[in-house]
């Protein structure tokens, strides 16, 4: 009987710790105290996409993993993150969490990179590794709700929101507001023509990587042809062209300006942002130019697949920094398939969270 009770106690302790098997998987995940949260299984690290470009993109906006740039243990991983050296980054971080499993920031960098690359389930797994060790970790708890949303697990979203409510009612409300905002944008209709009757101060063009020789790629050309059409329709609007040298040595904004000038658009209308690396970076650079030139009614331009996300990110960032903005959006190219539209909608949540300050460790300091 004594041996049986001892075994019961040991079993309970193991369940409370996550009950790791020898293969590293969590068996029979159980709620943890004090927030009553059911954690996801631990899974292997993904391989990662092919490496990015390298040195030229390291200092573009957004500067990934800014919270860890002065961390000696993670400094080289920050460099790999900013260079889009995904396989190198994934392997390095996987080794570090195995070697030093209680160093929580390694899991945070993993989760940020995984979410940006649509590796949603591994992202949730690594955030839950933090929560096993620190159950009330505000950052891990909040971002795990985002991960659950991208996995379309509404039961987990609700459970984790309730847990976050106990930890920080303000953070929980911010997450609910962010979900409502994103859903409201995704429910809007976007096509190849504006849906509103606004008189636009600016046409904001979200760049895309050009061809290796600096000519517009197919997707970029679709945006540029739509931009020329809208520039003729709204002749008094400034043209805000955003995009840095991400996958080629050519800044997307420069390539767009060159094509538009060659196709009859007056370059005196151009405002260039040459340092954005992605859609949240576009929003940062664009709003900076809007502020400088007092522009408040905006027509965003991307492809028909991209424009709902681009619009949500731009409006979300403007709201976050307190800049009043009215925005509509149009897309070039053909309407996307239902499958691609669904994938893009899930990724929109990640990008809007980034733009609204609900993603990185430092983002959540205001809720402490």
Confidence of residue 27 (pLDDT cuts 50, 70, 90): very low
pLDDT tens-digit readout, 307-359: 999 999 999 999 999 999 999 999 999 999 999 999 999 999 999 999 999 99
* CB burial readout 183-209, b (16+ within 10 A) else e: eebbeeebeeebeeeeebbbbbbbbbb
pLDDT tens-digit readout, 264-301: 999 999 999 999 999 999 999 999 999 999 999 999 99
- Closest by CA to 105, choosing from 88, 81, 84, is 81
* Domain chopping of the chain, boundaries: 33-186+360-367, 202-334
Report the 10 Å Cβ neighbour count for 120.
22
Tell me, yes or no, if the two domains 33-186+360-367 and 202-334 fold the same way: no
pLDDT tens-digit readout, 146-195: 999 999 999 999 999 999 999 999 999 999 999 999 999 999 999 999 99
Which CATH number is 202-334's, of 3.40.50.620, 3.40.50.720, 1.10.600.10, 3.40.50.300? 3.40.50.620
pLDDT tens-digit readout, 235-249: 999 999 999 999 999
The CA-atom distances, in angstroms, between 286 and each of 136, 274, 294, 315 are: 36, 10, 12, 11
Confidence of residue 36 (pLDDT cuts 50, 70, 90): confident
The CA-atom distances, in angstroms, between 123 and each of 52, 108, 147, 251, 309 are: 20, 9, 7, 31, 21
Instruction: Give the mean model confidence (pLDDT) for residues 118-123.
Output: 98
> Helix H segments across the chain?
2-17, 75-82, 86-99, 104-116, 120-133, 138-150, 154-167, 169-186, 218-233, 252-262, 279-293, 307-321, 338-355
Tell me the pTM: 0.92
The superfamily in CATH containing domain 33-186+360-367 is: Tetratricopeptide repeat domain (1.25.40.10)
């Amino acid at each position: 009987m004594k041996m049986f009770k001892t075994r019961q106690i040991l079993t309970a302790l193991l369940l409370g710790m996550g009950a790791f098997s020898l293969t590293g998987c969590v068996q029979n995940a159980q709620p943890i105290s004090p927030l009553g949260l059911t954690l996801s299984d631990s899974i292997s690290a993904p391989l990662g996409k092919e490496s990015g470009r390298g040195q030229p993109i390291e200092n573009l906006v957004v500067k990934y993993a800014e919270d860890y740039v002065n961390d000696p243990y993670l400094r080289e991983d920050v460099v790999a993150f900013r260079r889009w050296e995904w396989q190198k980054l994934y392997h390095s971080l996987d080794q570090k969490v195995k070697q030093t499993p209680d160093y929580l920031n390694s899991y945070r960098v993993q989760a940020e990179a995984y979410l940006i690359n649509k590796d949603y389930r591994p992202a949730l797994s690594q955030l839950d590794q933090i929560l096993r060790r620190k159950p009330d970790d505000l950052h891990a708890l909040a971002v795990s709700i985002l991960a659950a949303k991208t996995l379309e697990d509404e039961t987990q979203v609700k459970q984790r929101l309730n847990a976050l409510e106990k930890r920080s009612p303000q953070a929980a409300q911010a997450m609910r507001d962010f979900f409502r905002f994103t859903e409201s944008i995704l429910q809007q209709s976007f096509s190849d023509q504006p849906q509103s009757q606004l008189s636009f101060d600016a046409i904001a063009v979200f760049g895309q990587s050009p061809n290796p020789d600096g000519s517009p790629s197919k997707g970029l050309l679709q945006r540029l042809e739509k931009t020329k059409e809208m520039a003729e329709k709204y002749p008094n609007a400034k043209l805000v062209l955003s995009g840095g040298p991400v996958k080629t040595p050519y800044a997307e904004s420069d390539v767009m300006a060159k094509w538009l000038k060659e196709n009859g658009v007056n370059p005196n209308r151009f405002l260039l942002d040459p340092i954005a690396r992605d859609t949240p970076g576009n929003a940062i650079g664009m709003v900076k130019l809007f502020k400088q030139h007092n522009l408040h009614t905006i027509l965003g331009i991307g492809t028909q697949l991209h424009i709902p996300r681009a619009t949500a990110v731009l409006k979300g960032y403007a709201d976050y920094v307190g800049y009043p903005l009215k925005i509509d959006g149009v897309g070039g190219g053909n309407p996307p398939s239902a499958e691609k539209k669904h994938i893009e909608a899930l990724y929109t949540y990640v990008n809007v969270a980034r733009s609204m300050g609900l993603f990185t460790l430092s983002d959540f300091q205001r809720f402490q």
